[in-house]
Structure 1
Amino acid sequence: MRRLLNTLYIFTEDAYLALDGENVVAKRQGDEIGRIPLHTLEGIHSFSYAGASPALMGACASRGIALSFYDRKGKFLVDASGAVRGNVLLRRAQYGVSADEGRSLPIARNFIMGKIYNSKWVIERACRDHALRVDVSALKGASRKLSESMAAVRYCESLDSLRGIEGDAAAVYFSVFDELILRNDGEFSFKGRVRRPPTDAVNAMLSFFYSILSRDCASALEGVGLDSYIGFLHCDRPGRRSLALDCMEEFRPIFVDRFVLTAINNRVVGPGDFEHRETGEVILSDKGRRLLFESWQARKREIILHPFLKEKVPRGLAPLIQAQLLAKCLRGDLGGYPPFLWK
Structure 2
Amino acid sequence: MLTLYVSQQGCYLTLKAESLLIKKGKEVLAEAQIPLLEQVLIFGKSQVTTQAIRACLTRNVPIAYLSRMGYCYGRILPVERGYRHLSRYQQQLTRVDRLIVARRIVKAKLKNSRTILQRQARRRSSETINLAIQSLNHLMEKVIEAESWERLMGLEGAAASQYFSALGECLTNPKFVFTVRSRRPPGNPVNALLSFGYQVLWNHLLSLIELQGLDPYFGCLHQGSERHAALASDLIEEFRAPIVDSLVMYLINRNMIDADTDFTYHDGGCFLNDSGRVKYLKAFLQRMEEKLTTADGEEQPRWDTLNQQVKAFKQFVYNPIEGYKPYEIR
Tell me the TM-score normalised to structure 2 length. Answer: 0.93
RMSD between superposed Cα atoms in Å: 2.0
- The one-letter code of the counterpart of 1:47 is F
- Structure 1 contact 114–339 (Cα < 8 Å) conserved: yes
Matched, 1:321 2:311: no
Question: Superposition pairs for residues 153-232 of structure 1, below 5 Å?
Answer: 153-183=143-173, 185=174, 187-232=175-220
- Structure 1 contact 120–146 (Cα < 8 Å) conserved: yes
Matched, 1:340 2:327: yes
Q: CA deviation at 1:234?
A: 1.0
Q: In structure 1, what is the Cα distance between the partners aligned to 2:297 and 2:91?
A: 30
Q: In structure 1, what is the Cα distance between the partners aligned to 2:297 and 2:214?
A: 24
Of 7-16 and 63-72, the range deviating more from structure 2: 63-72
Q: CA deviation at 1:115?
A: 0.5
Of 101-110 and 86-95, the range deviating more from structure 2: 86-95
Corresponding residue to 1:298 among 263, 286, 302: 286
Tell me the TM-score normalised to structure 1 length. Answer: 0.90
Q: Which runs of 5+ in 1 are unaligned?
A: none
Q: In structure 1, what is the Cα distance between the partners aligned to 2:214 and 2:294?
A: 22
- Structure 1 contact 86–223 (Cα < 8 Å) conserved: no
Matched, 1:138 2:128: yes
Q: CA deviation at 1:148?
A: 1.2
Q: In structure 2, what is the Cα distance between the partners aligned to 1:318 and 1:9?
A: 21
Q: In structure 2, what is the Cα distance between the partners aligned to 1:278 and 1:320?
A: 36
Q: In structure 1, what is the Cα distance between the partners aligned to 2:237 and 2:77?
A: 24
- Structure 2 contact 292–299 (Cα < 8 Å) conserved: yes
Corresponding residue to 1:243 among 231, 250, 254: 231
Distance 1:89 1:289, change over 3 A: closer
Matched, 1:109 2:103: yes
Q: Which runs of 5+ in 2 are unaligned?
A: none
Corresponding residue to 1:151 among 141, 165, 172: 141
Q: In structure 2, what is the Cα distance between the partners aligned to 1:278 and 1:240?
A: 25
Corresponding residue to 2:121 among 118, 127, 146: 127
Q: CA deviation at 1:275?
A: 3.2
- The one-letter code of the counterpart of 1:147 is N
- The one-letter code of the counterpart of 2:107 is M
Q: In structure 1, what is the Cα distance between the partners aligned to 2:28 and 2:258?
A: 32
Q: In structure 1, what is the Cα distance between the partners aligned to 2:66 and 2:16?
A: 23
Q: In structure 2, what is the Cα distance between the partners aligned to 1:303 and 1:146?
A: 28
1:91 aligns to what? 87
Distance 1:50 1:89, change over 3 A: closer
- Structure 1 contact 181–261 (Cα < 8 Å) conserved: yes
Q: CA deviation at 1:310?
A: 5.2
